[in-house]
Amino acid sequence: MGNNKITNAMTVDVEDYFQVSAFEKTIAKSEWETLPQRADYNTHRFLDLFEKHNIKATFFTLGWVAERHPSLIQRIVKEGHELACHGYDHIRVTELDPEQFRNDVVKTKKMLEDIGGREVIGYRAPSYSIGASNPWAHNILAEVGFRYSSSVYPVKHDLYGMPEAPRFMYEPIEGKNFKEIPITTLPLAGKNWPCGGGGFFRFYPYFLSKWAFNVINQKEHQPGIFYCHPWEIDPEQPRQKNVSFKSKFRHYLNLDKMEGRIVNLLHDFSWDTMSNVFLNIDKGR
């Protein structure tokens, strides 16, 4: 790990390549079982990588994946990582009413806890789909036993985003011990720029991502969040043909470079779980 005094949060959103929002109009959920499943193998690759570099991370996991690969969930917990919730089958919160959302998170939280044998206190919405249109989601998360969410992205984006949201951890519900921990951004020229991972990390040259995290850690004295997906280190995944050029570009760009860049991050900065970095809780060690 790096010698940086501030420790950042390393996170993995455990979902398969066919479950991303960009493909939801071209790959029906009824097809999921018929497609090659690669999330299990690729998440084990992340676990091997983190073990090699002595890193603990938070794995925001779909219930759909956990249900089919319980041994993966058990390894996550056994090796001291934090197990957290990503919903059951990657339905964006903006597509659910409050009752449907409550059912989804209660079902998935219990499933993860039953498989992993650990309390699950963290949640990340699929495609960062909590924002100005559905503030009720935070209340439900707090009511059913979550202690934090990492679901708000303070940027303007065509698929998600709440640019007016605070950039750093805040309490969205007055009087409750519940935190929202937004994805990391950097303010430049009056605009928040994404720098927390995913497609942006694959698009930017590595030195820009490194510079952004150095600014956040050394000048703003704040911890950052990095996020990635198992399919992002898998250039051999099946290629989808019936999707838009924009979706192809976003999904497949620099997949072959992603793992090497993550290794650079692991060397250049200090990392730990969401709970340890932001809540000062040692979960599952």
Better-scored residue on pLDDT, 3 or 137:
137
CB count in 10 Å sphere of residue 171: 14
**Amino acid symbol at 152:** V
pLDDT averaged over every residue in the chain = 92
Backbone angles phi, psi at 181, to 5 degrees: -120, 95
Confidence class of residue 281 from pLDDT cuts 50, 70 and 90?
low
CA separation, residue 264 to residues 1, 30, 212, 257, 259 (Å): 10, 38, 14, 11, 9
Contact criterion met (CB below 8 Å) for 229 and 57: no
What tokens were used for 98?
């409050």
What tokens were used for 14?
């455990």
Give the residue from 22, 94, 20, 99 showing the smallest Cα distance to 62. Answer: 20
What's the pLDDT score for residue 77?
Answer: 98
| Residue whose token pair is 């932001």 | 278
What's the pLDDT score for residue 247?
Answer: 82
Concatenating the DSSP letter of every residue in 175-210 gives TSS-EE-PPPEEEETTEEEE-SBHHHHHHS-HHHHH
- Which DSSP symbol is given to 43? H
Contact criterion met (CB below 8 Å) for 12 and 229: yes
* Per-residue pLDDT at 127 exceeds 50: yes
What mean pLDDT do residues 256-285 have?
88
Q: CB-hemisphere CA count at 13 Å for 248?
A: 8
What's the pLDDT score for residue 2?
Answer: 47
* Per-residue pLDDT at 285 exceeds 50: no
* Per-residue pLDDT at 5 exceeds 90: no
**Amino acid symbol at 27:** I
What's the pLDDT score for residue 157?
Answer: 63
Ranking 16-30, 32-46, 92-106, 271-285 by mean pLDDT, the lowest is 271-285
Contact criterion met (CB below 8 Å) for 49 and 258: no
Ranking 50-64, 86-100, 122-136, 249-263 by mean pLDDT, the lowest is 249-263
What's the pLDDT score for residue 284?
Answer: 40
* Per-residue pLDDT at 82 exceeds 90: yes
CA separation, residue 255 to residues 44, 46, 53, 200 (Å): 17, 14, 21, 12
| Domains of the chain by start residue, with CATH | 7-279 (3.20.20.370)
What's the pLDDT score for residue 91?
Answer: 95
Q: 175 in the Ramachandran plot: left (φ > 0), alpha (ψ -120 to 50) or beta?
A: left
What are the start-end ranges of the E strands in 90-248?
122-123, 148-149, 179-180, 185-188, 191-194, 225-228
- Which DSSP symbol is given to 171? -
> What is the C-alpha separation between 74 and 118, in angstroms, rounded?
10
Confidence class of residue 160 from pLDDT cuts 50, 70 and 90?
low
Contact criterion met (CB below 8 Å) for 20 and 251: yes
